[in-house]
Amino acid sequence: MTELYNFSAGPAVLPAEVLRRARDELLDWHGSGMSVMEMSHRGKEFVSIAEQAEADFRELLGISAEYHVLFLQGGATSQFAMVPMNLLRGKPQADYINTGAWSKKAIAEARRYCTVNVAATSEASGFTTVPAADSWQLDAAAAYVHYTPNETIGGVEFHAIPGTGAVPLVADMSSTILSRPLDVSRFGVIYAGAQKNIGPAGLTVVIVRKDLAGATLDGTPSMYDYQAHADSGSMLNTPPTYGWYLAGLVFQWLREQGGLAAMAEINRGKAALLYAAIDGSDFYASPVDPAYRSWMNVPFTLADAALDKDFLEQAGAAGLLNLKGHRSVGGMRASIYNAMPVAGVNALVGFMQEFERTRG
């Protein structure tokens, strides 16, 4: 049987070892007689699962006691509203960096709550790069600065953390969290929908500096209040228990791989393999500025777009799934998150070379 590799942007591939373990524990978790799905979120079994997941996540990212870690619902999209609701704290404005489709959505939502200063944008480049640092018009009076470290659709990634002085930095890390070590102490808030690099859809992980929680806009629902979630241990209501459990298995798997430094080496290597194949050919091209190419989402085009359909069909037949680019960009996109093995990238590169040889 052909080995199958899933390059979906999200929901995305999970580590096979994690899925096998979840399968083995599906009907009876550790002799409890219950599936994790059937447990009370307040029972001792689930509480132990939840606490272990948080401890492993904190360990992986080196998150200090100055931060809350919240396991929420509502996706990264809810955070687009939750961030201004919690972080404006009496200020009328926030700075946003616009690097593509997800930045734009965050900006549009924030405009419902405050004056948004787009401090820098790469729109003129068609969002194929990151705005030059000396072009940023940051405002020291802003409540926070929001950016998208990895644009999942455009495949543009910041490889360094921008400096924002005393103004808290907020990051939508949905598609890059846990791909490499991170200095969390540089951030006010980090959030991520789970379905790219953490676990199944339905879980959203939020890291909040404690001093930034607790002063929401008037009328903020309690479900949108970081402090309320922190006070209840992310159990203000029934949390997404099964997603939380699976995320915990992924955190354990990451620790077994050697943690985030080891993952960074693997991810750097996978991306280098794929970009070398693209750059080494006249048939394939990457639209993205080489300095800001994503390690996680790799868009590429064929010299003749009329061959896109054949490429996708033959790739599918070769076991390489979900390579179609986002409808707004076209072409192809290979998402190569933590759970994509090097063998999957090698298989893709081999297929690309063969397709070019026969059809290029």
Ligand X SMILES: *Cc1c(COP(=O)(O)O)cnc(C)c1O
Site for ligand X, rule CB under 6 A: 10, 75-77, 102, 148, 152, 172, 174-175, 193, 196
The H or E element containing residue 145 is strand 145-147
Active site residue 134: no
CA 115 vs CA 55, 57, 91, 95, 112: distances in Å? 37, 34, 9, 9, 8
In the complex, what is the shortest distance from the CB of residue 151 to ligand X, in angstroms, rounded to a whole number? 7
Instruction: Indicate which residue of 29, 56, 102, 225 is catalytic.
Output: 102
Instruction: Indicate which residue of 196, 253, 270, 295 is catalytic.
Output: 196
- Phi/psi at 209 (5° precision): -65, 130
Active site residue 29: no
Closest CA to 50 of 243, 287, 330, 280: 243
Nearer to ligand X, 175 or 216 (CB): 175
Whether the CB-CB separation of 213 and 86 falls below 8 Å is answered with: yes
Nearer to ligand X, 122 or 148 (CB): 148
Greatest CA separation found in the chain? 63
251: tokens are: 């955190």
Nearer to ligand X, 120 or 203 (CB): 203
Residue in this structure with the two tokens 């910041």, named with its chain if needed: 158
* Residue 352 amino acid letter: M
In the complex, what is the shortest distance from the CB of residue 79 to ligand X, in angstroms, rounded to a whole number? 8
71 CB contacts (<8 Å, ≥6 apart)?
A: 50, 53, 54, 203, 204, 205, 234, 239, 240, 244, 247
In the complex, what is the shortest distance from the CB of residue 227 to ligand X, in angstroms, rounded to a whole number? 22
In the complex, what is the shortest distance from the CB of residue 90 to ligand X, in angstroms, rounded to a whole number? 27
In the complex, what is the shortest distance from the CB of residue 152 to ligand X, in angstroms, rounded to a whole number? 3
- Rounded Cα gap, residues 215 and 209, in angstroms: 13
What three-state secondary structure class fits 298?
A: strand
Active site residue 196: yes
Nearer to ligand X, 75 or 162 (CB): 75
Nearer to ligand X, 193 or 243 (CB): 193
Instruction: Indicate which residue of 56, 95, 172, 225 is catalytic.
Output: 172
Residues tagged active-site: 102, 172, 196
